[in-house]
Amino acid sequence: MLQEILNDVGIAVFAASGALLGVRKDFDLWGIVTVGALTGVGGGILRDVVLGITPPTSIQNWPPIVIAAVTSLVVFFFHPTFALLRRSVLIFDAVGMGVFATSGAAIAVDQGVSAFAATLVGLLTAVGGGILRDVMANEIPLLLQPADLYAVPALLGAAVVAVGGIHTSAPIWVWLVTGTIVATGLRIAGLAFGWRLPTAPRPRARRQS
Amino acid sequence: MLQEILNDVGIAVFAASGALLGVRKDFDLWGIVTVGALTGVGGGILRDVVLGITPPTSIQNWPPIVIAAVTSLVVFFFHPTFALLRRSVLIFDAVGMGVFATSGAAIAVDQGVSAFAATLVGLLTAVGGGILRDVMANEIPLLLQPADLYAVPALLGAAVVAVGGIHTSAPIWVWLVTGTIVATGLRIAGLAFGWRLPTAPRPRARRQS
Amino acid sequence: MLQEILNDVGIAVFAASGALLGVRKDFDLWGIVTVGALTGVGGGILRDVVLGITPPTSIQNWPPIVIAAVTSLVVFFFHPTFALLRRSVLIFDAVGMGVFATSGAAIAVDQGVSAFAATLVGLLTAVGGGILRDVMANEIPLLLQPADLYAVPALLGAAVVAVGGIHTSAPIWVWLVTGTIVATGLRIAGLAFGWRLPTAPRPRARRQS
């Protein structure tokens, strides 16, 4: 129940980030709602396609896309307000990321995949929407660029659920809670302390075809 | 039978739009045929992947890709002529879009998905090829940018088939015909009257990471 | 066994090409490893999604991604050396391409698809990682641009396995060996002799929406 609510919060926050990028890129109403919806539910759709769950639950049931579309509409009309809320949005986004990573891993565990695969599926669930958002907007995914930790916390949170859910007999909710705290906590700590990963040592290399 | 023909017309017109973009981007023969083929059958492939129909029918049988590839070859050699035919091509494209949206929704209904999902799958079938085309050419999808109505007619046409096919006992062809007329007619009306969706109200927002 | 080793060589070489592009684009450590891993195993993942093999074998088992990630780490630290090895890397890349094309086609044959589909799946396996790499890096896929033959050799090698494996009674390894020699040999010959495909005849066309 709490997980349901947090999941919906995650969809809304992700959708808002997509819709805001659409506004910045001068998309029209349809474009903004499309990018918002895809950012909100894209991670879950990729998760289901990789796991062979067809049709993806995010399109089979209407609530996820409706939540994402309504959020995008609100952003369409009130986007200057959202831009001011940047700091709060980052916290909600960290919660959404943690919930997506752990719920994605748990769904993969349910499908009987390996712990290795479940960890990667959790990661994909958390970051897939953002990647689709940036590719659709013709930008390099934020995820790949030097910035505050994002994918590493998602990977660790997903790993907690995957390993705990497959290799221990403790109930899955224990690992869901632990994994979400790990992922969201690490993300917020990274923001607070400015943790970053290094870029490659110079000199520069040329492109390999 | 008529639907088969209209579907092949749609594949050819979509492929031509992809091949023309490839010509404009200075791709070589392979690149032009690849983008053309992907634009022609990409929507159907995404539809099948999302519905769990593997391998996708567009690659299991040769006609769709051969139609798309031959069209791309014709564009390769005679592209200035196609550029002159812009107005006629828009009409054929509207027909192809309508047929793709409704046939995609009907195939989804056959697979037993919800009316909500069938509508989205119809939309994906109609717009997926164009999105792949623009992403491969490193451009922002036309679909997201301010322009004449395209996705909304596809969505409505698909919804007619999805809702009619699942919630009424009328034969599916009734809804296929109705939906195609709705989608294609609305698209052509939008072109004729210059209907557009609004962009977001100013002032501009900054990107939310 | 030999095929296993060549396949791992292919994963490593593809991963190196992705990691080098990540270095050139100033991605951070995570971004470089992500693009490297995706380039190394992306073709296999797309192959499995299209064939309905879920979860994709490249994520269900750890070796492919670990090989790709470790290679990317090595590139991260020693990328100037890799840039100097460009010529040798092209040879290994040709071997990897040939092995991916033929093994992809053989796996598709195993799944009972048509020879037409198996050929396309082999092609997708060989070029999918590179396309994902370029799309993630926000560049036009190298595959589409005027350059030395790459996709055509992959297509022909895959066709040898697809047609031979489905329409003859000879053991599949005969076709795997023949197809790999065809694909890799043609690629290297194309590099040696500078074979290229033409671009479209002028004058230029405008974009068709």
Closest CA to A177 of A87, A106, A129: A106
pLDDT attached to residue A150: 94
Identify which of B55, B62, B82 has the shortest CB distance to residue C51. B55
Q: Which residues of B touch A60 (CB under 8 A)?
A: 113-114, 116-117
Put simply, whether C127 touches B (Cβ < 8 Å) is: no
Closest residue, chain A, to C131 (C-alpha): A209
Cβ neighbours of residue C106 closer than 8 Å, sequence gap 6 or more:
C122, C161, C165, C172, C175, C176
Q: Which residues of A touch C79 (CB under 8 A)?
A: 200, 205
Tokens 């949206």: give the residue.
B101
Put simply, whether A30 touches B (Cβ < 8 Å) is: yes
pLDDT attached to residue B32: 96
Closest residue, chain A, to B54 (C-alpha): A52
Three-state SS for B175? Answer: helix
pLDDT attached to residue C83: 74
Interface contact B139-A135, CB threshold 8 A: no
pLDDT attached to residue B55: 96
**Candidates A119, A140, A144, partner chain C, best to mutate (most C CBs within 10 A):** A144
Tell me: the pLDDT tens digits for B98-133?
Answer: 999 999 999 999 999 999 999 999 999 999 999 999
| Residue B203 binned pLDDT confidence (cut-offs 50, 70, 90) | low
CA distance A26 to A20: 10
Interface contact C198-B28, CB threshold 8 A: yes
Tell me: the pLDDT tens digits for A32-55?
Answer: 999 999 999 999 999 999 999 999
pLDDT attached to residue C203: 64
Put simply, whether C167 touches B (Cβ < 8 Å) is: no
Task: Convert chain A into a string of H (helix), E (strand) and C (coil).
Answer: CHHHHHHHHHHHHHHHHHHHHHHHCCCEHHHHHHHHHHHHHHHHHHHHHHHCCCCCHHHHCCHHHHHHHHHHHHHHHHHHHHHHCHHHHHHHHHHHHHHHHHHHHHHHHHCCCCHHHHHHHHHHHHHHHHHHHHHHCCCCCHHHCCCECCHHHHHHHHHHHHHHHHHCCCCHHHHHHHHHHHHHHHHHHHHHHCCECCECCCCCCCCCC
Identify which of C50, C198, C204 has the shortest CB distance to residue B56. C50
Mean confidence (pLDDT) of chain B? 92
Identify which of B35, B52, B60 has the shortest CB distance to residue C144. B35
pLDDT attached to residue B106: 96
Identify which of B114, B145, B151 has the shortest CB distance to residue A60. B114
Angle (nearest 5°) at CA B44 between C130 and B143: 80
Identify which of C50, C113, C152 has the shortest CB distance to residue B30. C152
CA distance A14 to chain C (A): 19
Put simply, whether A194 touches C (Cβ < 8 Å) is: no
Q: Which residues of C touch B28 (CB under 8 A)?
A: 144-147, 196-199
Tell me: the pLDDT tens digits for C127-180?
Answer: 999 999 999 999 999 999 998 899 999 999 999 999 999 999 999 999 999 999
Identify which of C24, C49, C56 has the shortest CB distance to residue A206. C24
Put simply, whether C147 touches B (Cβ < 8 Å) is: yes
- Percent pLDDT > 70 in chain B is 97
pLDDT attached to residue C157: 98
**Size of the A and C interface in Cβ pairs below 8 Å:** 113
Tell me: the pLDDT tens digits for B160-184?
Answer: 999 999 999 999 999 999 999 999 9
Q: Which residues of A touch B131 (CB under 8 A)?
A: 136
Put simply, whether C198 touches B (Cβ < 8 Å) is: yes
**Candidates B109, B136, B142, B209, partner chain A, best to mutate (most A CBs within 10 A):** B209
Q: Above 90 in pLDDT, residue C82?
A: no
Three-state SS for C199? Answer: strand
CA distance B115 to chain A (A): 8
pLDDT attached to residue B126: 97
Report how far apart, in Å, the C-alpha atoms of A22 and of each of A26, A65, B10, B145 are: 6, 17, 29, 9
Q: Above 90 in pLDDT, residue B3?
A: no
Closest residue, chain B, to A150 (C-alpha): B209
Identify which of C52, C147, C205 has the shortest CB distance to residue B52. C52
Interface contact B138-A138, CB threshold 8 A: yes
Closest CA to A35 of A18, A49, A52: A18
Interface contact C23-A146, CB threshold 8 A: no
Interface contact A21-B208, CB threshold 8 A: yes
Identify which of A52, A144, A146 has the shortest CB distance to residue C35. A144
pLDDT attached to residue C115: 97
pLDDT attached to residue B179: 97
CA distance A81 to chain C (A): 30
Compute the CA torsion angle C130, C136, C140, C143 (nearest 10 deg). 10
CA distance A154 to chain C (A): 12
CA distance B18 to chain C (A): 8
Cβ neighbours of residue C121 closer than 8 Å, sequence gap 6 or more:
B55, B59, C47, C50, C51, C104, C105, C107, C108, C113, C158
CA distance C96 to C87: 15
